[in-house]
């Protein structure tokens, strides 16, 4: 059996499919994976025995600045990606038995699978990406603001925005392939039975009449890497520090330094993760250390709290470690959703990164560092499962789609 996995995005988009690929390989399945051509993704796939298929522009180059690309640039990137997908996918899908696509940007995947006569599965990493009257659509940068309305109306407007971006290109290529036209691009990509690769406690699917969602649990791997020697020495040298990191996202100008000062004001040491934004907020002093990419599974159990942007992987890693969180999300994708989940489950505090102040950060840290929050996070950690990728792999192999 051969499975084709496909996504386009940052590390948070790629790593869940890496976890699925490892589980599929353990079951004797051959795996190909379409990802951005960034060297770190290619190296990661080759290291687990998966054939990489580069698609689109390097993502890290697009995220290098202090702000997201402009609406005009995003529009151009999206259109170019669709053309690249239709040019690349037919050869990549050849000989495969099933296609698993992650993310709304996989516009061409279902059409290429249809043309090849192979099954197609869509997966989301957060419930907020799937239409439901229980929540509004996630923020989509570069597209018109849908305005204030009830959730059903917002999802209708969201579908029109997706059609406006992708409808003409998708149907032009479908016509060339001899496939029928699509009248709702978003729902065509999602299918009527999407998968949800999120933990059922941390990010459950809200039961929605008429919607059939397969929630497998989050797709992750155990990380056995040791911590770097300088980080281990720093951890051993004093009280548990507060971790500050924004992953692949460019944080609001000045917010990193503001967080560091707020942490210090509470008498805590600080770990600053440079991330893709290449943060370097360390002043001279033994209470602060800047680090690169490290094993969060091993690290988060040794810190007092995790301050981050609301990425699905960071939220889950901190929750599994039983460590309180302060989430200051960008208005982007599922970041506000995970901030809301942290607040709703009382695992820490959520802020709006656009309006965060030193005072609001101080209050949020006070909530996160309280004994009551620590007790709740530790209690919830024991309820989170780690077998989501295994569940998904066995469904694919057993054709239980």
Query: What's the pLDDT at 53?
Result: 97
Q: Give percent above pLDDT 70 in the chain.
A: 94
Looking at residue 277, what is its pLDDT? Answer: 61
Residue identified by tokens 């929750």 is 319
Question: Residue range 280-301: average pLDDT?
Answer: 84
Residue 274: band (very low, low, confident or very high) from pLDDT cuts 50, 70, 90: confident
Taking Cα atoms as reference points, which of 228, 379, 226 lies closest to residue 289? Answer: 228
Pick the closest to residue 8 from 88, 104, 73, 87 (CA basis).
104
Exposure of 46 by Cβ count < 10 A (0-12 exposed, 13-18 middle, 19+ buried)?
exposed
Where in 92-239 does DSSP place strands (E)?
A: 98-102, 120-124, 195-196, 214-215
Helix (H) or strand (E) holding 288: strand 288-291
Extended beta strands in 133-232, E state: 195-196, 214-215
Mean pLDDT, all residues of the chain = 92
pLDDT digits (tens, 9 = 90+) for 109-161: 999 999 999 999 999 999 999 999 999 999 988 888 877 889 999 999 999 99
Q: Does domain 229-381 have CATH number 3.40.50.300?
A: no
State how far the Cα of 177 lies from the Cα of 312, in Å rounded to an integer: 36
Give the mean pLDDT of 331-344: 94
What is the average pLDDT across 170-184? 97
Phi-psi region of 230 (alpha: psi -120 to 50; beta: other; left: phi over 0): alpha
User: According to the model, what pLDDT value does residue 361 have?
Assistant: 92
Q: Residue 88 pLDDT more than 90?
A: yes
The pLDDT value recorded for residue 66 is: 57
Residue 276's pLDDT band (cuts 50, 70, 90): low
68/106: higher pLDDT: 106
Handedness of CA 141, 146, 151, 153 (dihedral sign): negative
Domain residue ranges of the chain, discontinuous segments joined by +? 2-220+386-397, 229-381
CB 48 within 8 A of CB 25: yes
22-31, 161-170, 276-285, 348-357, range with the lowest pLDDT: 276-285
What's the whole-number mean pLDDT along residues 208-237?
94
- pLDDT-based confidence at 275, cuts 50/70/90? confident
Domain 2-220+386-397 annotated CATH 3.40.50.2000: yes
The pLDDT, as a whole number, for residue 63 is 66
The span from the first CA to the last CA of the chain, in angstroms, equals 15
| Residue 178 predicted with pLDDT over 80 | yes
Say which residue, 276 or 344, is predicted with more confidence. 344
Q: Cα–Cα distances in Å, from 40 out to 125, 183, 256, 281, 299?
A: 21, 37, 25, 24, 21
Answer whether 2-220+386-397 and 229-381 agree in fold. Answer: yes
Contact assessment for residue 219 and residue 19, using Cβ atoms and an 8 Å cutoff? yes
Q: Does residue 280 or residue 338 have the better pLDDT? A: 338
The confidence score (pLDDT) of residue 399 equals: 65
Cα separation, 379 vs 312, whole angstroms: 20
pLDDT at res. 278: 61
| Model pLDDT for residues 242-268, shown as the tens digit of each residue | 999 987 666 667 777 888 899 999 999
Residues 5/219, Cβ–Cβ less than 8 Å: no
Strand ranges across the sheet with 2-7: 51-54, 30-35, 2-7, 98-102, 120-124, 195-196, 214-215
Q: Which of 67-81, 201-215, 304-318, 337-351 has the lowest mean pLDDT?
A: 67-81
Q: What is the pLDDT of residue 226?
A: 97
């Amino acid at each position: 059996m051969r499975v084709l996995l496909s996504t386009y995005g940052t590390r948070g988009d790629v790593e869940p499919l890496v976890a699925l690929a490892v589980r599929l390989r353990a079951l004797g399945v051959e795996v190909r994976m379409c990802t951005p051509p960034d060297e770190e993704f290619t190296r990661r796939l080759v290291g687990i025995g998966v054939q990489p298929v580069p698609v689109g522009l390097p993502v890290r180059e697009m995220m290098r600045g202090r702000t997201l690309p402009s609406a005009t640039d995003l529009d151009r990137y999206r259109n170019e990606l669709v053309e690249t997908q239709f040019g690349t996918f037919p050869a990549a899908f050849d000989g495969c038995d099933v296609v698993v696509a992650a993310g709304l940007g996989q516009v061409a995947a279902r059409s290429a699978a249809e043309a090849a006569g192979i099954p197609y599965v869509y997966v989301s990493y957060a419930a907020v990406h799937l239409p439901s009257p229980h929540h509004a659509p996630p923020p989509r940068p570069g597209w018109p603001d849908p305005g204030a309305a009830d959730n059903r109306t917002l999802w209708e407007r969201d579908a029109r925005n997706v059609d406006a971006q992708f409808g003409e290109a998708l149907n032009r290529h479908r016509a060339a392939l001899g496939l029928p036209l699509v009248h709702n691009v978003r729902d065509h990509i999602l299918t009527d039975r999407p998968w949800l690769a999120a933990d059922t406690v941390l990010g459950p699917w809200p039961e929605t009449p008429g919607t059939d969602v397969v929630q497998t649990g989050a797709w992750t791997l155990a990380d056995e890497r040791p911590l770097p020697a300088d980080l281990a020495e720093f951890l051993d040298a004093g009280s548990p520090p507060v971790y500050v990191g924004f992953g692949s996202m460019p944080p609001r100008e000045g917010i990193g330094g503001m967080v560091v000062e707020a942490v210090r004001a509470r008498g805590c040491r600080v770990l600053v993760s440079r991330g893709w934004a290449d943060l370097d907020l360390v002043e001279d002093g033994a209470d602060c250390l800047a680090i690169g990419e490290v094993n969060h599974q091993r690290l988060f159990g040794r810190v007092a709290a995790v301050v981050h942007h609301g990425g699905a992987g960071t939220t889950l890693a901190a929750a599994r470690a039983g460590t309180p969180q302060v989430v200051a999300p960008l208005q982007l994708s599922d970041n506000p959703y995970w901030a809301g989940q942290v607040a709703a489950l009382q695992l820490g505090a959520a802020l709006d990164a656009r309006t965060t102040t030193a005072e609001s950060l101080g209050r949020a840290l006070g909530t996160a560092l309280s004994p009551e929050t620590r007790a709740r996070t530790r209690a919830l950690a024991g309820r989170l499962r780690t077998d989501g990728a295994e569940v998904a792999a066995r469904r694919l192999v057993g054709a239980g789609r």
